[in-house]
Amino acid sequence: MPDLTTTYLGLPLKNPLVVSASPLSKKRDRVRQLEDAGASAIVLYSLFEEQITREADELDCYLNLATNSYAEALSYFPDLEHYNVGPDGYLEHLRRVKETVSIPVIGSLNGVSAGGWVEYARKIEQAGADALELNIYYLPTDPEMSSNTLEKIYVNLVREVRTAVQIPLALKLSPFITALPHLASRCIEAGANGLVLFNRFYQPDFDLEAFEVVPHLELSTSHDLLLPLRWIALLYGRIPTDFALTSGVHRVQDVVKAVMAGANVTMLASELLQHGPGRLRQLLEELDQWMEQHEYLSVAQMRGCMSQNSVAEPAAFERANYMKALNLFDSHLPG
């Protein structure tokens, strides 16, 4: 049988299927089901910075801004009362989950500033988390803010959290970065041990009858795989770090593509929300069969085999693919 083991953030894992931050981890019984179905690790649902700083005077204004909702929210953020039980409850839930399962449990912090966020990174470590995922998101609306300033916010936060904890750190990024490879490299130098690509944000919509900004939540599809797939293939071998591909992992082909691009692990949420924890068992069986049919002995053998690490100039390679795609589309036009 093929060897499905892999490593991520220095953690030995039995396979590359990791449950990403989502409502799936809000109940211990469900977490146990995910482990029994084959999950190699689980990222706990996110603790939001806004929950930590809730008593701050400026929060009232922030809560009234209907800017974004996140994959971890079942109801529209920022209704924090219905999101979870708060910072202390999060830590207690983490402790109990660690007592329930034997697979690694990764904490998740969602925010952008230091202060209390760094303090809770330390508390998450003390609660027993095997690693910590930093889900940084900042929506720059000030025309005077430069991309360099935004990058400094990301790098400084990683550096401050790194000094506060000893457990491995993964950085979950948005694709909306001016120079993603440069920022990724700086964050690794600042202390991140891995990159999670990408966070998929749910954009607000307009209710034209009520004149309100409303959430628009859709689960991912395999089409969403293409963006993180491209970037991991570009960065693998050029930035010395571990990669987790998230968004768009639904089929065994998606798992294989992610690993071949260079991902250490693939993270799933939408597929499991739709089909339940048992879907993990099916994917693992299909992965085992696919590897046997294609004569791969291990996940390690597959990893990075279709990355662009061997290409001298990946930017030129990307432009060639772009032109090829346009020509292909042109050939299908009538006339």
Eight-class DSSP state of 312? S
- The residue ranking higher by pLDDT, 73 or 147, is 147
6-309: CATH superfamily = Aldolase class I (3.20.20.70)
CA atoms within 13 A on the CB side of 159: 10
Q: How confident is the model at residue 118 (pLDDT cuts 50, 70, 90)?
A: confident
The domain locations on the chain are: 6-309
| CA pair distance 31, 28, nearest whole angstrom | 5
What's the pLDDT tens digit per position in 4-35? 999 999 999 999 999 999 999 999 999 999 99
Q: What percent of the chain has pLDDT over 70?
A: 79
| CA pair distance 122, 133, nearest whole angstrom | 13
Q: How confident is the model at residue 125 (pLDDT cuts 50, 70, 90)?
A: very high
pLDDT higher than 60, residue 72: no
Please give the average per-residue pLDDT across 279-289, as a whole number. 98
Supply angle C-alpha 182, 185, 188, rounded to 5: 150
Helix %, strand %, coil % of the chain (to 5): 45, 15, 40
pTM, to two decimals: 0.86
Please give the average per-residue pLDDT across 74-92, as a whole number. 61
pLDDT higher than 60, residue 54: no
Q: Look up residue 233 and give its two tokens.
A: 């293939």
The pLDDT score that the predictor gives to residue 76 is: 37
| CA pair distance 128, 231, nearest whole angstrom | 32
Collapse the DSSP code of 51 into the 3-class scheme (helix H, G, I; strand E, B; otherwise coil) and give the result: helix
What's the pLDDT tens digit per position in 317-330? 566 566 666 666 55
Considering only the C-alpha atoms of the chain, give the largest distance between any 2 of them, rounded to a whole number of Å. Answer: 67
> How far is the CA of 323 from the CAs of 13, 30, 90, 326, 329, in angstroms?
40, 46, 49, 5, 10
Residue with tokens 């990058």: 151
| CA pair distance 150, 256, nearest whole angstrom | 34
- Which is nearest to 185 in space by CA: 261, 235, 135, 239? 239
